[in-house]
Chains A and B, each alone.
Chain A
Amino acid sequence: MTAAQLMLAVLWIGLTLYALLAGADFGAGFWDLLAGGTARGRPQRHLIEEVIGPVWEANHVWLIFVLVLLWTGFPPVFAAVMSTLYLPLTLAALGIIARGAAFAFRKASDVLWQQRLFGAAFALSSVVTPYFLGTVAGAVASGRVPPGLAAGNLIRSWCNPTSVLGGVLAVGTCAYLAAMYLCHDARRLGRPDLAAAYRRRALVTGLAVGVLALAGIAVLHADAPALSGNLVHRALPLVIGSGLAGAASLALLVARRYLLVRATAALAVTAILWGWAVAQYPYMLPPGTPYTEVAATPAVLAAVLVVTGAGAVILLPSLAWLLILFQRQPAPGRHDVV
């Protein structure tokens, strides 16, 4: 494996983690949006805040990680994607601001109309942001981002069937992941009624995403034939694997195995992301830009890979501690006592 290939793999691992962790956060915002009126929705919103509060920042650093690795490892790709897809990416960036800030502010405010306002901003941007990020994925996958600065079509590059499919799939997947994660958390926090509600939602969205993905094959066949050709050949095992894991997740949800379903659902999403990568390899900007042409010099790749490895050694135990701590209840009566 060359350094450039290793870098690609690290980049894709980062993207996968972003999709799985931050995706669930976005999805939680989706359910926040649909939680209903102020009084009726309060228990659900409370659960959502409780569950994503301590971890959401850590979850979202994966995006920064991916951006930085992309501009360091494959600078011309970063420049081409950012300049041609300037519009959806600006909108996604605004969504990220609105979302992060509103979530923080809602928790820190105690006046109802403000909570409503911040809550609405949080929930709306949770849906809008993954949509635009999905359209970006669709633009790259369907070969609409040529190398060079703003060399592609500024509108049609992300307003096309594949991009719309990407956007809708992203929103749907986020919603599904969140509903599925929330089942276990609701049960853990002693709210079996909410667990049942989220189980229903997870089943519905899971089915919907599955149907959409199947329909998507037809879309890709017409709109991005090169990609779809590879998806049903080279990447077929991963595509089938994703389907099986998805079906298993639905079965586990029916059986109320809420912890186990986390594994299979994550597997389904991971398999489809890596299926896309395999189908597109070795091109980073299909149809004509293989990664070898755009990779940074070996010294840079080596330095960043070494730093990444060393960073992971510190990072992973810290992250594990956060997640473990987070499953623990507060010690009663230790507020502000030395």
Chain B
Amino acid sequence: MVVGVRAAGPADLVAAREQMALSLGWHIVLACLGVGLPALTAFAEWRAIRTGQPVYLALAHRWAKAMGVLFAVGAVSGTILSFEMGLLWPGLMGTYGQVIGLPFALEGFAFFIEAIFVGIYLYGWDRLPRRVHLLTAVPIVVSGVASAFFVVSANAWMNQPRGFRLVDGGVTGVRPWAAMFNPATAPQTIHMILAAFMVTGFLTASVYAVGMLRGGRDRYHRLGFLIPFTAAAVLTPLQIAAGDYAARFLAHYQPTKLAAIEGVFNTGSHVPLHVGGVVRDGQLRYAIEIPDGLSLLVGYRPSTVITGLDRVPVADRPPVTPVHLAFDLMVGVGFGLLLLGAWLLLAWWRRRDLPRPALFLRLAVLAGAGSVAALEAGWVVTEVGRQPWVVYGYLRTADAVNPAPGLTAGLVLVAATYVVLTVASVHVLRRLAHAGQDAAGPLAAPQEAAPPQAAPQETVP
């Protein structure tokens, strides 16, 4: 509607972006666990019912508790994001809020279902027959995946805005379903949902890998490692294929982003694939070059023409170095995880056992952090690679930001809050993990019934 009289300073714009990146980068890890852990938990509970072995139920109960705590933290961090969409980017929401509203509304319902059934699942642990209880996990899994789909389709719209017309700065003729199912929705949602399961699998497995390195070699630890690790390792090749699809998509729909990803400044054929390197004086330097690589990957022929950054004005180019390096990090981790999975496969095929060298478990510990690094790097590629646009081709980030002064102070406050939140979350999860194998022990997820008057132990701070 009316454009404000104030204008945001450059420092405030940077602060707003950093606050958004911090909050999203934080939330997305929790969101991945929110999508993946319910499936893992339900799988363990299903095995418990099938085999009658208590070890599966103990694992399921432990994961369920972690899920409860993580869900609570994920919910608050997500709520903050809904605020921030307006607090930081009123210029985006005031004009385009109605275009991307539908997936967010659908997401709201998915959350609601998820929150209700997480409550039922945890509170009902002792109150429902086992099989009925297992069934209550199904809506959690479905709505978790659905919410990831919905919210990423909103993000995809920012990359491929569709389903509206712009008349005098106002939006008309909105077709909300067309906006939601825009061309970027398929590549992004597939890649993201796979990432969520991979991150959950590798992170969970890394906790048990630590335990095994410390000497815990019982069935509880082995299964706690093998179930999530195998799931994630199986998904890794699929994820690489999905990433390839996403990159090929960019070649046709967002060539500027692909050019930034690969550091391609000049349009032409026979474009090499660049690994590493930084931008100096308008060219990518110190990179390892694979001749014709990019042209081959995009069009299967060395003569394939790749659009370079020279096709857009300098003011419309994203920063190349961070996008390029983030992409290399993501791809590097992706292939590293593939190799690690192959190692397990090989050992299992030969001896029906984990690889013997302790190196395998050490690498498996790293795989947890690595998958999170790939996740964050992927988002840097997507978001920074879209700059300077917030809505690709329609709205610049600088025009979307809240013109009120003082956003920098807000960033400091929010950053401090997230530091505290991170420390507290990690600490509480470690306590949950170390509380012994008796999962019905004294520590409880917020949705559970309180343990019978467990008096806390006194310790000196």
Contact = CB atoms under 8 A, between A and B. Distances in A.
Interface stretch (A190-198, A205-213, A318-326): A318-326
Chain A CB count within 10 A is highest, among B83, B84, B431, for B83
Contact of B130 (A93, A319, A338): A338
A108 B443 CA distance: 5
Interface in B413-461: 413-414, 417, 421, 424-425, 428, 431-432, 439-440, 442-450, 453-459, 461
B71 A57 contact: yes
B82 A336 contact: no
Interface in A142-168: 147-151, 154
The 5 A-B pairs of least Cβ separation, nearest first, read A72-B101, A82-B86, A79-B94, A149-B4, A75-B97
A68 interface: yes
Contacts of B116: 58, 315, 318-319, 321-322
B87 interface: yes
A334 B124 CA distance: 11
Contacts of B84: 93
Interface string B204-216: 0000000000000
B338 interface: no
B83 to A, nearest CB: 4
A307 interface: yes
Contact of A314 (B65, B113, B119, B414): B113
A187 interface: no
B76 A73 contact: no
Interface string A72-100: 11011011111110110110111011111
Given A108-B445, A307-B109, 6 more contacts: A46-B450, A53-B447, A71-B104, A86-B87, A147-B1, A338-B48
Contacts of B82: 64, 67-68
Interface in B96-110: 96-99, 101-102, 104-109
Contacts, number: 315
Contacts of A303: 102, 176-177
B54 A338 contact: yes
A83 B413 contact: no
Contacts of B448: 53-54, 107
Contact of B404 (A86, A300, A336, A338): A86
B409 to A, nearest CB: 9
B110 to A, nearest CB: 9
A73 to B, nearest CB: 7
B433 to A, nearest CB: 11
Interface of B: 1-6, 48-49, 52, 54, 57-58, 61, 65, 68-69, 71-73, 75-80, 82-87, 90-91, 93-99, 101-102, 104-109, 111-113, 115-120, 122-124, 126-128, 130, 139, 171-177, 402-406, 410, 413-414, 417, 421, 424-425, 428, 431-432, 439-440, 442-450, 453-459, 461
A111 B5 CA distance: 53
A104 interface: yes
B402 A83 contact: yes
Chain A CB count within 10 A is highest, among B2, B71, B99, for B2
A150 B109 contact: no
Interface of A: 42, 46, 49-50, 53-58, 60-61, 63-65, 67-69, 71-73, 75-76, 78-84, 86-87, 89-90, 92-94, 96-101, 103-105, 107-113, 115, 118, 147-151, 154, 293-294, 296-297, 299-300, 303-304, 307-308, 311, 314-315, 318-319, 321-322, 325-326, 328-331, 334-336, 338
A115 B456 contact: yes
10 contacts: A71-B101, A75-B96, A78-B97, A83-B403, A86-B402, A97-B421, A108-B431, A110-B443, A111-B457, A311-B112
Nearest to B128: A325
A22 to B, nearest CB: 11
B177 to A, nearest CB: 7
B79 A96 contact: yes
Q: For the complex, would chain A's binding face be called helix, strand, loop or mixed by DSSP majority?
A: helix
B126 to A, nearest CB: 4
A112 B80 contact: no
A90 B108 CA distance: 21
B1 to A, nearest CB: 4
Contact of B76 (A80, A82, A101): A101
Contacts of B450: 46, 49-50, 53, 107
A318 B117 contact: yes
Given A61-B112, A107-B445, A297 B171 contact: yes
B93 A82 contact: yes
A61 B455 CA distance: 32
B174 A71 contact: no
A28 to B, nearest CB: 13
Nearest to A329: B127
Contact of B97 (A55, A79, A94): A79
A75 B100 CA distance: 11
A109 B444 CA distance: 8
B144 to A, nearest CB: 14
A300 B101 contact: yes
B3 A53 contact: no
A90 B410 contact: yes
A72 B96 CA distance: 9
Contacts of B413: 90, 94
A307 B102 contact: yes
A297 B172 contact: yes
A329 B124 CA distance: 10
Contacts of A104: 68-69, 72-73, 428, 445-446
B244 to A, nearest CB: 34
